[in-house]
Amino acid sequence: MVIVHYAGKKAGLVVDELLGEFQTVIKPLGVLFRHLRGIGGSTILGSGEVALILDVPALVSLVGSSEERRLAPPRRDAAVSP
């Protein structure tokens, strides 16, 4: 598990393997993949493999808003029908 911090919030990402740190050029995703939330771009590793770059702020925001909805008390309608 990798713990990330963003905007005062923490989140844990479950990973299979850590490869280390790399300086890399991040390429934007194509039009077909722009709707993906949590993926910031891609890069080509030294081995020639393509790696996706995680968008940590978007991931933390997604998890945070999901948890807030899950923990919020049920809504009550202001007007109740008899």
pTM over 0.85: no
User: Could you give the CA distance from residue 67 to residue 56 in angstroms, rounded to a whole number?
Assistant: 16
Query: What is the pLDDT of the chain when averaged over all its residues?
Result: 80
Contact residues for 12 (Cβ-Cβ < 8 A; gap 6+): 1, 2, 3, 4
Q: Can you give the residue ranges of every domain in the chain? A: 20-71
* DSSP E strand boundaries for 1-80: 2-6, 9-13, 39-44, 50-54
Q: Where are the alpha helices (DSSP H) in 10-76?
A: 56-71
Q: Is the pLDDT of residue 28 over 70?
A: yes
Q: Is the pLDDT of residue 80 over 70?
A: no
pLDDT at position 16: 92
pLDDT at position 61: 83
Bridge partners of 44, per DSSP, are 50
